[in-house]
A and B are shown apart, each in its own frame.
Chain A
Amino acid sequence: MPLLEVNDLTTYFHTRDGVVRAVEGVSFSLERGETLGIVGESGSGKSVTCYSLMRLIPEPPGRIERGTAMFEGHDLLQMSQKELRKVRGNGIGMIFQDPMTSLNPYLRISTQLIEALQTHRDIDKKAALHKAIEALEEVGIPGASKRVFSYPHEFSGGMRQRVMIAMALITEPALLIADEPTTALDVTVQAQIMDIIKQRQNDLGTAVILVTHDLGVVAGSCDKVLVMYGGREMESGSVEQIFYRPRHPYTRSLQKTIPSLQTKGQELYTIPGLPPDVSKPIHGCAFFPRCPYPKTDKAEGASPELEEIEPGHCWSACGFCDSSTPIESVLAKAGEVAEDGVPASAGEPA
């Protein structure tokens, strides 16, 4: 049985301006010790997916409409507040985007770490403090036995994120949710933080859900990848499958946006257009309006079904465009079209 099995997770926000379909039918599973990367543009529902799992969605206006999320045999989405409190911080730890605001500015680091531990473990203060110092040492804070009595504002951003990692992992949870843990940090520190997460994961056998929009981070540290767009799952699979055999036009376009070190003087590729407005219902493929692939005759229809093309590798099999060719050739063709003014042939129908 997988550690976490999410099925058809759907979260809407019922706002005054209408229903925002932030997450629509997302499914994935995670084994113990595995790392899942969730990637996508801003507003594609990555964070809401994580917050839904932790039940941190503000309700109202948010509501988890349907789906299940079985964690160690219990459905997170059906739990009472009391049961949830036992899972939060104990079974699942979470670290947030901005380490500058995720620690309480008025409490010492020691107080906050001890509190996290004593909430879930029957442990006396002295032993808890000892454990707190150990936890800080493990995330590489020098002079931990003295720094533990400091206040958050006496730490730098990278140090605070380390403290957050120590705090989230002090109870040795089976799952760590990291919601863009390196976005607010500078690049050199980002690598250190990713190393620490990886190292702690190896030490404790923790499974990790890593939300990011940095594909480099995903390639470097994940086992599985979930590509999201417009609140939906576009493609999922192992890192090799997603990076070497991407199937969905969105995954391919996303990869195309990674700047490479080899080419110089060339304009960086960006996906044209804007992410979809999820407050309006999306018919068919969410990526359709921005898709660079030649369109097929099938213009309207139901949302595409997930199709498994090889074991563990799924994609949202849209029939709206012909995505049988690699993206480079499509983009090259599109360039020619712009010059000639003659539409390129649609190629073989899928």
Chain B
Amino acid sequence: MTDLPGSAAPGIAEEELVEGSSLWKDAWARLKKNKVAVGSLVVFTFICLFCVLGPFLSPYDSNAQNLFAGAEGPSADHWFGTDTLGRDLMVRVMVGGRISLMVGLVATVVALAIGVIYGATAGYIGGKVDASMMRFVDLLYALPFTIFVILLMVAFGRSMWLMFVAIGCVEWLSMARIVRSGVLGLKKQEFVEAAVSLGYSHSRIILRHLIPNVLGPVIVIATLTVPAVMLLEAFLSFLGLGVQPPNASWGVLINEGQANMEIYPWLLLFPAGFFAVTLFCLNFIGDGLRDALDPKSAKD
């Protein structure tokens, strides 16, 4: 057996050359170290599962009235008690949560899609196009939101989808501004020039090279937009402009609860508690993500 020189060495070298770790993986590793954010993530996941799967497991229907069991306090049969019409509050909190979370999610996705593409286009093209596009955003910013929604409701009648549109229309504005400013900074970077010099089309450069690079702040804003949107929905429902009874959302339930706050406090406490915890969780997750995606800002 002849010893081949250097035959043993490559094994070690190749072992080290493992698949690269992306900036996303690094951010995830940093997020995992943030106990508050991880805790919030766990609680938030639990609340989501509770709202989505709960109604299937509960024996009660969310709209089934039972006037003989009206306004009962928490018990073994009805863990969260019942409302004045004898509907099981736990199921109503679950179903209401579905709608509230869905509003948060859908409106944020709508805002994200419009805002990111609009902002990236404005920032990338620049010049006069950018100026006029951003003046349009300023114009929409100036509209008073409540009046805008009331006008929409008056013109088109009350519907949940209209509410999504109304909220989405407002929330994409700040997204567009953030993405635009990010793209303005990035497009002067050499990798964008390199992409142009390699003959890529404009849409390809925006979608593949610019947007992924501004996604960090965008994700942070998105996680902070979800609670803001949910709050808006609750606010509109509370005013009677949003989700209409018998459909429930957390805003509707809180509205009903506050009417009977002094006699049947559980009607307010349970939906309000869930709502508050969810908002806390989302805000903590957002903060954690911001620190994880931008490690420089984490150490003040």
A residues within 8 Å of B by Cβ? 54, 56, 60, 84-90, 92-94, 96-98, 101-109, 115-116, 119-120, 142-143, 146-147, 149-151, 153-154, 164, 167-168
Contact = CB atoms under 8 A, between A and B. Distances in A.
Nearest to B24: A106
B8 interface: no
A86 B197 contact: no
A101 B193 CA distance: 10
Contact of A116 (B19, B20, B198, B213): B198
B161 interface: no
B197 A107 contact: no
A102 B14 contact: no
A119 B193 contact: no
Given A104-B209, A109-B20, 17 more contacts: A86-B199, A88-B196, A88-B199, A92-B197, A96-B193, A96-B194, A103-B191, A103-B194, A105-B213, A106-B24, A108-B20, A108-B22, A115-B198, A115-B200, A119-B199, A142-B13, A146-B14
A165 to B, nearest CB: 12
Contact of B20 (A60, A84, A97, A151): A151
Contacts of B189: 101
B22 A106 contact: yes
Contacts of B24: 106
Nearest to B201: A85
A96 B61 CA distance: 66
A56 B198 contact: no
Given A60-B127, A102-B191, A104-B213, A85 B200 contact: yes
B200 A93 contact: no
Contacts of B213: 104-106
Nearest to A84: B199
A4 to B, nearest CB: 16
B139 to A, nearest CB: 25
A88 B198 contact: yes
Nearest to B197: A94
A142 B10 CA distance: 11
Nearest to B215: A106
Given A60-B127, A143-B17, A151 B193 contact: no
Interface of B: 13-14, 17-24, 127, 189-191, 193-201, 208-209, 212-213, 215
Given A86-B199, A153-B23, A94 B194 contact: yes
In the complex, the 7 A-B pairs of residues with the closest C-beta atoms, listed nearest first: A150-B20, A89-B198, A88-B199, A89-B199, A146-B17, A102-B190, A94-B197
Contacts of A104: 191, 195, 209, 212-213
Contact of A56 (B127, B193, B208): B193
A119 to B, nearest CB: 6
Nearest to B17: A146
A143 B193 contact: no
B197 A89 contact: yes
Given A98-B190, A105-B213, A106-B23, A143 B14 contact: yes
B212 A120 contact: no
| Most chain B Cβ neighbours within 10 Å, of A85, A92, A120, A167 | A85
A101 B197 CA distance: 14
Contacts of A101: 189-191
A264 to B, nearest CB: 39
A193 to B, nearest CB: 16
| Most chain A Cβ neighbours within 10 Å, of B199, B201, B213, B215 | B199
A98 B194 CA distance: 11
Contacts of B196: 54, 56, 88
Nearest to B195: A104
B197 to A, nearest CB: 4
Contacts of B22: 106, 108, 151
A108 B22 CA distance: 8
Given A107-B212, A108-B20, A151-B21, A143 B198 contact: no
A230 to B, nearest CB: 25
A162 to B, nearest CB: 14
Contact of B23 (A86, A87, A89, A105): A105
Contacts of B197: 54, 56, 88-89, 92-94, 168
5 contacts: A92-B197, A94-B197, A101-B191, A119-B198, A153-B23
Nearest to B128: A60
Contacts of A90: 199
A15 B64 CA distance: 72
Given A85-B199, A147-B17, A164 B23 contact: no
Contacts of B14: 143, 146
A151 B23 contact: yes
A48 B164 CA distance: 49
A17 to B, nearest CB: 18
A123 to B, nearest CB: 15
A116 B205 CA distance: 12
B19 A119 contact: no
A234 B190 CA distance: 29
B21 to A, nearest CB: 7
A90 B199 CA distance: 8
B203 to A, nearest CB: 12
B88 to A, nearest CB: 48
A262 B150 CA distance: 85
A118 to B, nearest CB: 11
B200 A149 contact: no
B194 A102 contact: yes
B129 to A, nearest CB: 12
